[in-house]
Amino acid sequence: MIKGRLMMEAELSIGGMKFWMVDAASRLDCTVTITECIPWQKTGGQALFTLGSAEADLGKVISVIRDSPDVTAVDASLRKDGQIVGSVVMSDCWIIWAILAGGCFLERAWSPGDGRANFKMLAGSEGSIPDIIKAIGSRQVELDIIRIARTDDRPMVSRKQERLVRLALEKGYYDYPRRIEVRELAALAGQSPSAVFEILKRGEKNIIRHYFERGK
């Protein structure tokens, strides 16, 4: 019987990286996210991206990305919801080659316009996150290790759920009898009662499920 092992997850932030995603995010003042990236030819890569701005001009986006020296081709389109999606071909994409050489998989990459590139990756039993860190460290960049953990160590609730569940606990929502109702919590959180009720229920479900799964 073959036993599987838990995957590792890493989140790295790189400053001083010459990369089209970083340039575009800074010049367009928005978040650029790579949703998929694969190697191309000997040193390059092909990536799918989205733009986190409903106000960006499509022509300007294409022009800005095309200006990056590592980009050889770019295609983009505007969705009905206002989101810009596209593809980029890069002549130099050393980061994806480093990730693959380390036996890991890129989950996503993004730059919020602050001059940094962030990468979230997964490593299986054959993957080596330390090898990737070593490869990045050999470049003239600034590397910050945000997080390295087993995938089962991911937060059981989202930040939004955590904030509301914590607020509800502190204000006596879970006391008997209750010291505060959903409508009052909603006023404190600045959200609608229906939204607060849904977020609380999802958070409670995730906490309960995590509790019972830990005992398996």
pLDDT at 211 > cutoff 80? no
pLDDT, tens digit, 9 for 90 and up, residues 63-81: 999 999 999 999 999 988 7
Q: How many CA atoms lie within 13 A of 188 on its CB side?
A: 15
**Are the C-beta atoms of 173 and 27 separated by less than 8 Å?**
no
Q: How confident is the model at residue 1 (pLDDT cuts 50, 70, 90)?
A: very low
Domain boundaries, the chain: 8-152, 159-214
Q: What is the mean pLDDT of residues 28-57?
A: 90
Give the number of other CB atoms < 10 A from CB of residue 168: 23
pLDDT, tens digit, 9 for 90 and up, residues 156-177: 567 788 788 888 888 888 888 8
